[in-house]
């Protein structure tokens, strides 16, 4: 039982660290796309890089480091448990930090700012492609409808989003657990 407790402790710490790193990346990405970038390519590339490539690299790093701290071997169940704890804690840190504190207190107009940046990037891209103003206006109107739907969230939709997120976190933990399990060698 001591190994199980060590797994929980190590991956709880990794989850806190991962959560704060993802929170910093998420906030940095927001400011880059709303304040700094004018390029449509950067508007798309920065969030993908910050929310996909870096988190995957960090997760792999923490999985290998955690497994090494545990002696180099762990079962599928142990790997899945540790990785699920890490993902869940990171999600909670990021949710509280970004969705509650940042979005409500620091940048309450973040959806509007993101919408303005997205409209500017899409307009520039469509004009660069040579689309007519009518096509651009229709596309922008559709985009504004999508942003309006994002802004009108209820408590029920927030809870539903949390439940779906936890289910996806568990699914990713199972996948990563299967990838990073390493059973000790069996001697005959």
For the chain, give every domain's residue range: 2-108+153-180
Query: Are the beta carbons of 122 and 143 closer than 8 angstroms?
Result: yes
| Cα dihedral 81/82/86/91 (nearest 10) | 0
pLDDT at 84: 97
pLDDT value for 63: 95
Of the candidate ranges 77-81, 99-103, 135-139, the one whose mean pLDDT is the lowest = 135-139
Average confidence (pLDDT) over 26-35: 88
Q: pLDDT category, 147, cuts 50, 70, 90?
A: confident
What's the pLDDT at 188?
Answer: 65
pLDDT at 160 over 70: yes
Is 46 in contact with 32 (CB distance < 8 Å)?
Answer: yes
Q: How far is the C-alpha of 162 from the C-alpha of 103, rounded, in Å?
A: 16
Please state, in angstroms and rounded to a whole number, the distance separating the CA atoms of residues 118 and 71: 48
Per-residue pLDDT at 120 exceeds 90: no
pLDDT in tens, 5-28: 999 999 999 999 999 999 999 999
The predicted pLDDT at position 123 comes to 78
pLDDT top residue among 33 and 77: 77
Question: Do the Cβ atoms of 81 and 8 come closer than 8 Å?
Answer: yes
Listing DSSP states for 166-188 in one string gives HHHHHHHHHHHHHHH-BPPPPP-
* Helices first, then strands: H and E counts in the chain: 7, 0
pTM: 0.84
Q: What percent of the chain has pLDDT over 90?
A: 49
């Amino acid at each position: 039982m001591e190994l199980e407790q060590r797994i929980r402790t190590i991956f709880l710490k990794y989850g806190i660290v991962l959560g704060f790193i993802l929170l910093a990346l998420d906030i940095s990405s927001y400011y880059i796309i709303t304040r700094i970038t004018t390029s449509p390519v950067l508007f798309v590339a920065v969030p993908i890089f910050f929310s996909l490539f870096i988190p995957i690299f960090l997760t792999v790093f923490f999985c290998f480091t955690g497994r090494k701290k545990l002696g180099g071997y762990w079962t599928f169940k142990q790997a899945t448990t540790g990785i699920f704890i890490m993902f869940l804690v990171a999600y909670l840190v990021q949710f509280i930090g970004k969705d509650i504190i940042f979005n409500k207190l620091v940048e309450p107009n973040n959806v509007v700012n993101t919408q303005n940046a997205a409209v500017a990037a899409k307009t520039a891209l469509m004009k660069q492609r040579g689309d007519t103003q009518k096509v651009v206006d229709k596309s922008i109107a559709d985009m504004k409808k999508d942003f309006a739907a994002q802004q009108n969230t209820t408590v029920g939709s927030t809870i539903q989003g949390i439940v779906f997120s936890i289910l996806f976190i568990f699914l990713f933990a199972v996948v990563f657990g299967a990838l990073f399990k390493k059973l000790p060698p069996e001697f005959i």
